[in-house]
Amino acid sequence: MRYNDRVRNKGDQHFHRPAVRILSVKIVSLDACFPIQVYGTVIARDSVDLKCLRLFRCEKDHCQLISSKDESLILTGPKRGLLLLDDAYVEIDLKIRDPQGQEDKGLSKGFLTIRGIAPRRLDKCVVESKDLATRLSTMEVMYAVVNNAVEATMAILLISKLLLSSRG
């Protein structure tokens, strides 16, 4: 997270920047049978600091079950907005866990480039997608390009806990 050193008040200047929001990552074709147990990482990088911004991460012992090509990976990030002044990158390194405990298969490994805003003329938000074709699968990354985005951080304070129970 950036710019979280103080609370912004009414009248404070906000910096509008082009940004990208990753909407989904899904398997659009697979040379194996569903259901599959997927583990690995999907990360993004932008020109702010080139650090990894985790979008998806599952360990081998806690795989995500994907039953059909209609299901997407459950994304858990990024922790901050992805700036799109220059190109942004999505790196995929996913494997399929073998239920018999044999050798796991590489589902997809590679990266996609999301073109920066400089060569574009953009008046509104645009939803786009790119595919990463590998030996075993084709992954689709769907994302939204927003021309005038404002990054924000929210805090939620839980004051009390309400316990609901259903009784028959």
How far apart are the C-alpha atoms of 155 and 151, rounded to whole Å? Answer: 14
Q: What's the confidence (pLDDT) of residue 131?
A: 98
Contact residues for 50 (Cβ-Cβ < 8 A; gap 6+): none
Q: What's the confidence (pLDDT) of residue 4?
A: 59
How far apart are the C-alpha atoms of 129 and 126, rounded to whole Å? Answer: 10
Q: Tell me if residue 88 falls in helix, strand or coil.
A: strand
**Locus of tokens 């599959």:** 36
How far apart are the C-alpha atoms of 108 and 67, rounded to whole Å? Answer: 17
Residue 5 pLDDT level (bands cut at 50, 70, 90): low
Domain assignment present for residue 160? The answer is no
The residue range of the domain holding 109 is 17-149
Domain count, the chain: 1
The average confidence (pLDDT) of the chain is: 87
How far apart are the C-alpha atoms of 158 and 111, rounded to whole Å? Answer: 39
Phi, psi angle pair for 79, to nearest 5°: -80, -20
How far apart are the C-alpha atoms of 55 and 76, rounded to whole Å? Answer: 5
Q: What's the confidence (pLDDT) of residue 137?
A: 96
Domain assignment present for residue 138? The answer is yes
Residue 168 pLDDT level (bands cut at 50, 70, 90): very low
Domain assignment present for residue 109? The answer is yes
Domain assignment present for residue 125? The answer is yes
* Total number of residues shown for the chain: 168
Count of other CB atoms within 10 angstroms of residue 129:
13
Domain assignment present for residue 168? The answer is no
What pTM did the predictor assign? 0.82
Q: Mean per-residue pLDDT for 15-26?
A: 90
Residue 163 pLDDT level (bands cut at 50, 70, 90): low
- Is 122 in contact with 145 (CB distance < 8 Å)? yes
> Parallel, antiparallel, or unpaired: how do β-strands 53-58 and 36-45 relate?
antiparallel
Domain assignment present for residue 61? The answer is yes
Is residue 107 pLDDT above 50, yes or no? yes
CATH of the domain at 49: 2.60.40
Count of other CB atoms within 10 angstroms of residue 140:
17
Q: What's the confidence (pLDDT) of residue 1?
A: 52
DSSP class of residue 24 equals E
- Is 49 in contact with 73 (CB distance < 8 Å)? no
* pLDDT 10s digits, 28-76: 999 999 999 999 999 999 988 878 999 999 999 999 999 998 999 999 9
Domain assignment present for residue 5? The answer is no
Residue 6 pLDDT level (bands cut at 50, 70, 90): low
Residue 2 pLDDT level (bands cut at 50, 70, 90): low
Domain assignment present for residue 156? The answer is no
